Amino acid sequence: MREFQELRKRFRYDPLGVSRALGASEDDFEDIARAHYAHSKKGAADPRNKAEVERSLKEREQQERLDALQKRLDERDAAEKQSKAQAEAQREAAKYVESVAKAAAGPKAPLAAHFLAKNPERTKAKLGQIAYEMASEMDVVPTPAQVLKAYERIRREELLELGVDADTIVKAKAATPKPGTKPTEKPAATESKPLSKADLLAELEAGKFD
């Protein structure tokens, strides 16, 4: 309210400055001047001045409303396009991470295979993060093999900090039987029957213990 009172005092000797302070620009000055003139003593002498000004201002208001509506429509369309683009990018990223996870089935990524089986969502998120960082540095999308190689190195370093030997995990995984398979059983040892004196003599004669 105080600011308005200050502008009111200034208007009579600084109409241009007050108009600018209220948001008017060079595009508005002509209509403002014509509106003031139409309501002056000299301008009011011709009713056409007032009618022309009112028509011009009304057209200006309608055009501004149309421009605002068009701006909202354009912003909505841009937001929808951006949302669709983001969704598509997310789908492509998910497909890419799945391809990296499938490549972990080979022997060159034992830690990735182990942790994918143990906690797939968390491991895939880690693989995606590594791929993103590599793509930012390389300026190209890394191959699944490159991502897995980086994952193995980073995971080994993390395990080492925790005092865990990564090779122990790899060996334990290799020794674990696959689901649906039975561990091989060693044949039970057969108990040896005590030899009779006659059998012992026969084997000695045959030279079995020579």
Can you give the pLDDT at residue 111? 93
- Cβ contact 107:115 at 8 Å: no
By residue count, the chain amounts to 210
pLDDT per residue as tens, the chain (210 positions): 778 778 777 777 777 787 888 877 887 877 888 887 888 877 777 888 888 888 888 888 898 899 999 999 999 999 999 999 999 999 999 999 999 999 998 788 999 999 999 999 999 999 999 999 999 998 999 999 999 999 999 999 999 998 988 888 777 666 555 556 555 555 555 555 554 545 545 555 554 444
Q: Which two tokens stand for residue 202?
A: 């026969």
Which among 103, 86, 87 has a CA at the least distance from the CA of 142? 103
| 85 Cβ contact list (under 8 Å, min separation 6) | none
Can you give the pLDDT at residue 79? 94
Rounded to the nearest angstrom, the gap between the alpha carbon of residue 170 and the centroid of all alpha carbons in its chain is 31
DSSP 8-state class, residue 25? -
Find the DSSP H helices in the chain: 2-11, 15-21, 26-38, 41-44, 47-103, 110-118, 120-138, 144-161, 166-175, 197-205
Can you give the pLDDT at residue 195? 47
CA distance 210 to 203: 10
Can you give the pLDDT at residue 152? 94
CA distance 27 to 131: 52
The amino acid present at 146, given as its one-letter code, is Q
Rounded to the nearest angstrom, the gap between the alpha carbon of residue 131 and the centroid of all alpha carbons in its chain is 12
What angle do the packed helices 47-103 and 144-161 form, to 10 degrees? 70
Can you give the pLDDT at residue 210? 44
pTM for this model (two decimals): 0.52
Q: How many C-beta atoms surround the C-beta of residue 97 within 10 A?
A: 20
The amino acid present at 167, given as its one-letter code, is D
| 34 Cβ contact list (under 8 Å, min separation 6) | 49, 52, 53, 56
Can you give the pLDDT at residue 135? 94
